[in-house]
Amino acid sequence: MKIASNVMHPVQTSGNQGLEAAIKSTSHWNENCKLNQTLYRVVAGMPLGTMATSMRAESWEALTEAVVPMYTNEENVSLQQELGGFLSAPAEVSVANVIAMAGEMPSAPTDIISQVGGTPIDDQAAAAWMIEMSEYANQLTGAPNILIQHDYGVPGGTFDPRSMAIVTYHATTAEHEKVTNALRADEGYLRRMSRVSDLFDMSSYFNILMRKII
């Protein structure tokens, strides 16, 4: 499975106008495209007001078949231009592969998701560690998660090419807090986490909490 994402940073003076434009754009997209977008607003871990959209596709073929016609959809182009007027730069576009799963992946994105990861120093060793962490966290907390690796990203952006992340699904922020507290109090989790700086470039580390808008 592929997950395509657009990370959008609004200008400081946009207030909620950027979000309103993103809601209009995403709503139109979902009415006209075979693949629905989910719109998120960042709660913590990125600059204030940051937004992101994501789409799931089973393959590159399915992704391109759905997305390419939208490039010439006049209303979509107009709405994208309106949204772009509230952004500090063009959206950061990334495409990631789902390479492992722990628990049952929700059929649709949940209201709260957390994403933690970075760019590996050694891909093979980092992937093995991430799979172990993904499975351990799921066994300990019951929260489903997936492990992704970005095939395409923006160098120096939120998600570098090759960066890996564990994406965890939560129904509420209270559930996220319960899961986080359980992990931080667990000796096995902390022991595993002590290896992270040996496996990842810590300057690329990210830990993001997002709330679904649409």
DSSP for 114-177, please give it. EEEEEEESSHHHHHHHHHHHHHHHHHHH---EEEEEEEE--TTSSS-TT-EEEEEEESSHHHHH
β-bridge pairing 164-170 and 112-120: antiparallel
Same domain, 17 and 123: no
Contact 206, 45 (CB under 8 A): yes
pLDDT of the residue at 132: 97
pLDDT of the residue at 15: 82
pLDDT of the residue at 157: 87
d(CA 99, CA 81): 34
Domain end point (choices 92, 113, 143): 92
Domain end point (choices 60, 92, 124): 92
Same domain, 78 and 133: no
d(CA 207, CA 214): 22
Q: 64: domain range?
A: 2-92
Q: Which distant-in-sequence residues (6+ apart) come within 8 Å of 204 by Cβ?
A: 118, 119, 160, 163
Reported as a single tens digit per residue, the pLDDT across 127-159 is 999 999 999 999 999 999 999 999 999 988 889
- Helix/strand/coil for 103: coil
- Helix/strand/coil for 91: coil
pLDDT of the residue at 108: 86
- Is the C-alpha dihedral spanning 130, 135, 136, 138 positive or negative? positive
Same domain, 103 and 60: no
pLDDT beneath 50, residues of the chain: none
pLDDT of the residue at 196: 94
Reported as a single tens digit per residue, the pLDDT across 174-195 is 999 999 999 999 999 999 999 9
- Is the C-alpha dihedral spanning 72, 75, 81, 84 positive or negative? negative
CATH of the domain at 57: 3.30.70.100
pLDDT of the residue at 99: 94
